[in-house]
A = this chain, B = another copy of it.
């Protein structure tokens, strides 16, 4: 099964295997998020011993080109999107600014009575009717984040239909006369995703998510949205200037 390599003189074998695997990744033989071949597969492919293959892979891990997931194997690192966490940063602008195609898909929506916590964030009375939007944000079809948003129904009657069309809350807000809004305090934590969130993010359940909790306010400072977002930590990092 061994594919013949033209071993280069003066360069250690493991270094040459590392170079070859890097070339495979650069050319897309192994794409971001793909599982790399197992140690045994690489042993067969290069016709070398396990130790040599392990050294090459370990160099790729050190270089942050691949990552090892406990019990699952090695994976090609995804391109990580820098997500600036500013008062006026918008998902679609950030993604299109990176020449990637943004999309926001509504998964489900529901009308609820605001719990004490939600009511406090939205500055309404507990029990006030709020619409819950559950959505996935994507770049070039790759899911980056799953968000749950709560908005007061009284102000945003019909927003589910509008959001389904606009695929952007920023655009949907414009239909309600809100051309400008800001993000207030954001709380940031780390969690393991629920099965549902992991499945929507198309990621393993044992890879953590960065979770944020924030409130958007209109130009007058009135809360318009309380949102909880789970970002895939393999594909997004938050940036605070």
A128 CB–B CB distance under 8 Å: no
A208 touches B191 (CB 8 A): yes
Known: A206-B206, A208-B208, A210-B210. A189 touches B239 (CB 8 A): no
What are 10 A-to-B residue pairs whose CB atoms are below 8 Å?
A: A82-B187, A85-B188, A85-B240, A186-B240, A187-B239, A188-B240, A189-B210, A190-B190, A190-B209, A190-B233
| Chain A residues engaging chain B, CB cutoff 8 angstroms | 82, 85, 184-192, 206-211, 233, 237-241
Known: A206-B206, A208-B208, A210-B210. A237 touches B192 (CB 8 A): no
CA distance A180 to B238 in the complex (A): 26
Q: Using Cβ atoms and an 8 Å threshold, which residues of chain B touch A208?
A: 190-192, 208
What's the minimum C-beta distance from A196 to chain B, rounded to whole angstroms? 15
Which of B185, B187, B211, B233 meets A189, CB within 8 Å?
B233
**Protomer copies:** 2
CB-based nearest B residue for A70: B192
CA distance A206 to B191 in the complex (A): 10
CB-based nearest B residue for A211: B190
Q: Using Cβ atoms and an 8 Å threshold, which residues of chain B touch A186?
A: 239-240
20 A-B pairs besides A188-B210, A189-B237, A240-B240 with CB distance below 8 A are: A85-B188, A85-B240, A184-B241, A185-B239, A186-B239, A186-B240, A187-B239, A188-B238, A188-B239, A189-B210, A189-B233, A189-B238, A190-B191, A190-B208, A190-B211, A191-B233, A192-B207, A192-B208, A206-B206, A208-B208
CA distance A186 to B210 in the complex (A): 14
What's the minimum C-beta distance from A186 to chain B, rounded to whole angstroms? 5
CA distance A189 to B209 in the complex (A): 8
CA distance A2 to B160 in the complex (A): 52
Q: Using Cβ atoms and an 8 Å threshold, which residues of chain B touch A82?
A: 187
- Give me the 7 closest cross-chain CB pairs, A-B, nearest first: A190-B190, A208-B208, A190-B208, A190-B233, A188-B238, A190-B210, A186-B240
CA distance A238 to B85 in the complex (A): 12
CB-based nearest B residue for A184: B241
Q: Using Cβ atoms and an 8 Å threshold, which residues of chain B touch A238?
A: 187-189
